[in-house]
Structure 1
Amino acid sequence: MTSAGEAAGAEGAGAPVPPPVAAIASGYAFTGPALDLGALLWDGRCRPDVPVRVPLSVLNRHGLVAGATGTGKTKTLQLLAEQLSAQGVPVFLADVKGDLSGIARPAPGGGQVLARAEQVGQRWTAAGSPAEFLALGGLGHGVPVRATVTSFGPVLLAKVLRLNQTQEQSLGLIFHYADTKGLELVDLKDLRAVVAFLTSDQGRSELRDIGGLSTATAGVILRSLTAFEAQGMADFFGEPEFDTADLLRTAPDGRGVVSVLELPAVQEKPLLFSTFLMWLLADLFHDLPEIGDADKPKLVFFFDEAHLLFDDASKAFLDSITQTVRLIRSKGVGVFFVTQTPKDVPSDVLAQLGSRVQHALRAFTPEDEKALKATVRTFPKSPYDLAELLTGLGTGEAVVTVLSESGAPTPVAATRLRAPGSLMGPVDPAELDAAVRASALHGRYAQAVDRESAYEKLRAAPAPAPAPTPAPAPAPRPAAGSERAAHEEEPSLVEQVVSSGMFKSLARSVGTQLGREITRSLFGTARRRR
């Protein structure tokens, strides 16, 4: 840690330190554990004597990493993730472009890396982090991540299917009916079967008392599900469902595990993967206990390409995101949104983000200039001309402001960022596949399971009624000595009923309902508790 006085000494004997530099040095002189971001840029040169840092204890207050394409956002994300892992904090990374798998391998170093390290006063060491590789539905190089339709919930599914408000409400009724009747919605064919049943002659009356399901709305939902499946999306719904508690693990040496969700295979389905990320976060919110403020977060979650999450979102969906981000802080989870400009994130969500790392912006068009002005207004007052500074930053440079240990915003600091110690690029696919097969999670999630659920229950034909049989002739009264043996050999009426297939089916259905507690969170997601 470098104090403001040490910064003054670095100016040279008798050379006065500019008051803004002293103020910035003092603002980032934290006493507790912190992540090192880089060194101050002032008056055209780098100041390694004034480090820019973010306290570990405030990373559950969320953050934003923004900037134009090619300005270094991904490397900043990697720099934060590997330092969090080293401090024992698990990390989740959404790898949209497929270039974050290198976090598991040491970087080869080289002239540019060492030159950057010298500029910012960094003692650079090549090091990889313990990593777990995941893939949605197993599409890609990773342990398959699946969710059941029941736990995914109607709100998130409505967004994926692009349903309007009326259709979303009808989908909520369908989920409510399935929950109450013990019809488990494991995959998409289960949901399709329940919708078809509720519009059939047999099932049309089931929802009559709570609004009903119109044929037109059911048709829209079914067509949307069919189109969704035709795009290859059925693999993402099913069992075994991924347990988000597996994101909270640490390695035997105490470092946090970095879970890298590979997404290039579904890049053309941005709505799907952004909504799946929200399901993961909502599931964590539902399961984790309240811990309040802690010395370090339990998990830090990075949303890359965050604008995809908010595009075409309903007001109810945005309200749910805002509330989740606001409340999950007290459960020890930090959320970082990674996108191009702050205007990609709704203002109510942006107001919850305590740390800001803003890379360069471009102002080539009137729309760009408008976005630049909006970005400048979101920063605290500073001695910089931010509009000029943000358009002149180089790759790997950013404007930073974070929360101090007391919760107050730090001074705005133009920063040259450190170089990550891990490989800045993807690892070989064959190496990835080997790491996935060696994972402790592979045996639990690799093989898909299709058990009896709503589809099978609704397709099962009722057993035909048995043909009437003539009444048997009265049997001769047994001798007194043989009466007890007859009772032991022939089952009683109760025993016959209990052992019948119909009773077993009913008991299994009732047991499913009694043994399952469906509670839905802010997004309508649910966890099954037994």
Structure 2
Amino acid sequence: MGTIFVGAAGDKALELDLKRANRHGLIAGATGTGKTVSLQILAEGFSKIGVPVFMADVKGDLAGLAMPGSATHKAHDALQKRAAGMGLADYAYEAFPVVFWDLFGEQGHPVRTTVSEMGPLLLSRLMGLNETQEGVLTIAFRIADEEQLMLLDLKDLQSMLTYVADNAATIGTRYGNVTKASVGAIQRQLLVLENEDGARFFAEPALSVADLMTVADDGRGQVNILAADKLMQSPRLYSTFLLWLLSELFEALPEVGDPDKPKMVFFFDEAHLLFDEAPKALLEKVEQVVRLIRSKGVGVYFITQNPIDVPEDVGGQLGNRIQHALRAFTPRDQKAIKAAAETFRINPGLDVVTAITELKVGEALVSLLDSDGAPAPVERALIRPPCSRLGPLTEQERKVMIASSPFAGRYEESIDRESAFEILKARAEQALETVEEEAPAARGKTGSNWSNSILGKIAGAVIGAFVAKKARDFGDSLAGKKPSRRSASATSTAVGTAGSQIGYEIGKAIAGPMGGRIGRGVLGSFSRGVAKKIG
């Protein structure tokens, strides 16, 4: 019970030590060389000893774990022969406790999370944002947190971004420049994400990681299979989701060191998608999670075609390795073969570089960590046959499995509770109602008595001064005097003083004393200019 039988190199059994299973691993090899079967037998082994498993089913083949193998299968005779050759006297077909999940809710229980739980870093990766746009998104998350605005779905985030753009001047003084161009770019990417069915993923009820770590009534670990055939059409969403899930496990689980067996094992198929075009910050996060999640009792196994698809900083932490055949067709293939050979502990009796190109289907180079945590010398081995079905389920079989799942009905119906979208919408409506309530009163004061308005006061002062000047000029003419220029200057001064006072009151009401001084200068100059023209 302390090991999982992986395969045999002649008479030598190759077994994965469960105490070292959380030291992560790598399954690599070209298409059609047997990676899926290696993944399948590891999942079976972990489930049998009570360890829950999570894996993505890219081609649909892994769904066969839910059904036992069959004597009518075309590979039956070959499987039985291989089992007998390895001395597996108790080999028998067996089904495993499988739960199906699907981000789109079509081939399994819907998988959802909230925008807040995903966080700005992973969302930026998902939408392909640059550093500036990622900074704006981070500011939006910060303000939402400060104002207790929950970001649950995409419309919440869209509303929050609009709020940030509308208040860019105020926000910029606290957190840095926020441009409407950056906000617009993020909103366009949100639209693309929504068109790719991202809106289904960002919703409630959010997936509880505890539901992935269930043990069946018979003590076997639950095998969680994510339907990923459609999801692979959106590779960025696929890789971001799996990295988010790893992060959630890391945050939810306590430190346990090196347990007798893992608390959970996570298989990351098509692992190159996680690292393709990933920014430095994201790669650092992947490395951190992989390095630290081991102490939480979680093992992470990457499955990919070429071992060079995994960055060195991550690959250096993968202690358990199963390498299937590689083809030396291109310089990149030759580089991958050499890199794979150099990662193994040397076996003097085995030419690893040559063996990698000669491996048959179902054969692999295997190096597993021993009880001391050191990698064992690499061996050329036959991989043991699986007990579950080789191949996919029928559509009807899958429907039956989903309906009989312990989580049937828990995640199917989405929930839309009050969050940022509803709160910001209510604020906008309240502000509009306030304006509409005050507008009639304002129109009553200014409409019937326009002279009380700002321009009315200025015009009144100008007209009054103009009339006064003309009256004085008329009086002077009756007395035989010439019109006085001093009266025109006095009029301009009087009107300018009135405008200055009005400008000061307006500016002060809007922006305080500084605004008052600005308003005084602007309206004072304007008023004097008008008075001179009329004079």
Q: Do the two structures share a fold, i.e. TM-score over 0.5?
A: yes
SS in 2 for 1:445: coil
Provide structure 1 residue ranges, at least 5 long, that are not aligned to the other structure. 1-31, 41-46, 469-530
SS in 2 for 1:430: helix
SS in 2 for 1:127: coil
| Alignment counterpart, residue 132 of structure 1, candidates 99, 103, 121 | 99
Taking structure 1 as the reference length, the TM-score comes to: 0.79
Q: Look up the equivalent residue of 2:378 and give its one-letter code.
A: V
SS in 2 for 1:442: coil
Contact 2:168 2:177 in 1 (8 A): no
CA distance in 1, matches of 2:203, 2:262: 31
Q: Look up the equivalent residue of 1:134 and give its one-letter code.
A: W
Q: Look up the equivalent residue of 2:430 and give its one-letter code.
A: P
CA distance in 2, matches of 1:187, 1:379: 46
Contact 1:398 1:414 in 2 (8 A): yes
Q: CA deviation at 1:268?
A: 0.8
CA distance in 1, matches of 2:168, 2:130: 24
Asked if 1:112 corresponds to 2:78, the answer is yes
Provide structure 2 residue ranges, at least 5 long, that are not aligned to the other structure. 440-535
Asked if 1:391 corresponds to 2:357, the answer is yes
| Alignment counterpart, residue 19 of structure 2, candidates 47, 52, 57 | 57
Q: CA deviation at 1:467?
A: 8.1
| Alignment counterpart, residue 341 of structure 2, candidates 376, 381, 402 | 376
Structure number with bigger Rg: 2
* Structure whose residues are more often helix by fraction: 2
CA distance in 1, matches of 2:4, 2:202: 37
Which digits, 9 at most, give the CA deviation of each residue in 1:346-398, with x for residues without a partner?
10001111100000000011221122112212222222111110000001110
SS in 2 for 1:37: strand
Contact 2:271 2:310 in 1 (8 A): yes
SS in 2 for 1:118: helix
Residue number in structure 2 paired with 1:102? 64
Residue number in structure 1 paired with 2:183? 218
Q: What's the Cα RMSD here? A: 1.5
Which digits, 9 at most, give the CA deviation of each residue in 1:100-131, with x for residues without a partner?
11101100142111122123222321001111
CA distance in 2, matches of 1:438, 1:447: 17
Change in 2 beyond 3 A, CA 1:208/1:360: same
Q: CA deviation at 1:204?
A: 4.2
Q: Look up the equivalent residue of 2:151 and give its one-letter code.
A: L
Asked if 1:195 corresponds to 2:161, the answer is yes
Change in 2 beyond 3 A, CA 1:393/1:165: same
CA distance in 1, matches of 2:279, 2:96: 38
Residue number in structure 2 paired with 1:310? 275
Asked if 1:35 corresponds to 2:1, the answer is no
| Alignment counterpart, residue 429 of structure 1, candidates 364, 371, 395 | 395
Contact 1:137 1:237 in 2 (8 A): no
SS in 1 for 2:409: helix
Where do 1:339-488 residues align within 5 Å? Answer: 339-383=304-348, 384-460=350-426, 461-462=429-430, 464-465=433-434
Asked if 1:155 corresponds to 2:121, the answer is yes
Asked if 1:271 corresponds to 2:233, the answer is no
Asked if 1:73 corresponds to 2:30, the answer is no
Contact 1:197 1:204 in 2 (8 A): no
Change in 2 beyond 3 A, CA 1:467/1:271: closer
| Alignment counterpart, residue 150 of structure 2, candidates 178, 184, 188 | 184
SS in 2 for 1:462: helix
SS in 1 for 2:410: helix
Query: For structure 1, which segment, 373-382 or 75-84, has the greater mean C-alpha deviation from structure 2 after superposition?
Result: 373-382
Tell me the matched-pair count: 428
Contact 1:137 1:146 in 2 (8 A): no
Q: CA deviation at 1:147?
A: 0.7
Residue number in structure 1 paired with 2:451? none
SS in 2 for 1:190: helix
CA distance in 2, matches of 1:222, 1:117: 57
Q: Look up the equivalent residue of 2:402 and give its one-letter code.
A: V
Give % identity.
48
Which digits, 9 at most, give the CA deviation of each residue in 1:49-98, with x for residues without a partner?
21111111111110000000000101100000011100011111111111
